[in-house]
Amino acid sequence: MNIAVLGPSGTYTEKAAKEYMQRRNLEGHLHYYSSMRKTLDAIGTECSYGVIPIENTLDGFVQIILDLLTHSKLKIIHEIVLPIRFGFISNTNTLSQVERVYAQFKTHNQCLDFLENFTEDQIVTTQSNSASYQMLIDGEKTDGAIVPMHFLHQEQSFPLEMDDVADSVENETRFIVLSTELNDEVSAFEDWKTLLVIHDDQDRPGLLVDILNVFAKEKINLVSIISRPTKKGLGNYNFFIDVEGCYQRNKKVREAVLQVMNEFNVVVLGSYYRVK
């Protein structure tokens, strides 16, 4: 079994994929890809599954993932949640000596309070936490980097190492597991959720209320709702709605979704539960 993850090695996505395999007693290999799009493209071709981040406690949803899922035929089958902790390392002896800081683009938004120690032009945005670490290794003596805590206190030590620089110690990220097919498990003992993306070409007053009323009438709880522009003109949005229950197994959820489908463009992005 091959699992696609956003690379390089050392990321929290890799850690989530390994945790998923361990908790599900799966054996296989991780394949690393350089972008979210390439990771998704590998699922169903080079890999059976993929693991990607979708939501963070401090930074909200990963918007590029929502956009990519809109145009993908992949389905969410499970989720896994990990605590996220960041530390700071530097070749300097004190924080005041640091002249340049490397931070991955999502990590940056989770460590805003700490980054107030630096000016905007001192902060360099990177594509991965591993890249931040490597740029520090290859950089100048006055460089520093925000990295996952498991990067600290390893074989390579630094003059300055600081624990827990994220804005909250309760920081968590939700990762989703993607496949080419809906989850076909028969399980009545898990708390299932179903993620939908809904769009109407003709925007009008009360559009969102009409959608939500369908689930309210069926007494189906909404877990989250977020809008993303369709990129086809101002005022046009896709609505991502997470509801409690399994589309494949729960008759009430299925009937509510079918009601919405009668009036709107609806895609079921998957039904899933949290792997513990």
Residue pair 241/220 in contact by the 8 Å Cβ criterion? no
**What letter represents residue 115's amino acid?**
L
Please give the CATH architecture assigned to the domain spanning 2-83+172-179: 3-Layer(aba) Sandwich (3.40)
Exposure b/e, 243-264, CB count within 10 A at least 16 = b: bebbbbbbeebbebbebbeeeb
Q: Tokens 């990220």 belong to which residue?
A: 173
Helix residue ranges per DSSP H, the chain:
12-23, 36-42, 63-70, 105-110, 112-115, 129-138, 207-217, 251-261
Pairing of strands 172-179, 222-229: unpaired
pLDDT at 155: 64
Asked if the domains at 2-83+172-179 and 193-269 fall in one CATH topology, the answer is no
Topology annotation, domain 193-269: Alpha-Beta Plaits (3.30.70)
Q: 86-162: CATH homologous superfamily?
A: Periplasmic binding protein-like II (3.40.190.10)
Q: Which helix (H) or strand (E) holds 124?
A: strand 123-126
Cα angle value 252/192/208 (rounded, 5°) = 60
Cα pseudo-dihedral 17, 22, 28, 33, rounded to 10? 10
Phi, psi at residue 139, to the nearest 5°? -90, -155
Q: Rounded to whole angstroms, how far apart are CA atoms 166 and 198? A: 34
Q: For residue 259, what are the CA distances in angstroms to 37, 42, 252, 266?
A: 32, 34, 11, 10
Domain range annotation of the chain: 2-83+172-179, 86-162, 193-269
Average pLDDT, consecutive stretches of 10 residues, N- to C-terminus, the chain (276 residues): 89 94 94 93 96 93 92 95 96 96 94 96 92 93 95 83 93 96 80 91 75 92 90 80 94 94 92 95
Q: Which bin fits 135, alpha (ψ -120 to 50), beta or left (φ > 0)?
A: alpha
Give just the sign of the alpha carbon dihedral 241, 36, 101, 163: positive
Which of 129, 138, 124 lies closest to 8 in space, CA to CA?
A: 129
Pairing of β 75-83 and β 265-274: parallel
Residue 189 is predicted with a pLDDT of 67
* Backbone dihedral region for residue 58 (phi beyond 0: left; psi -120 to 50: alpha; all else: beta): alpha
Query: Which residues on adjacent β-strands are paired with residue 161?
Result: 89
Q: What is the pTM of this model?
A: 0.88
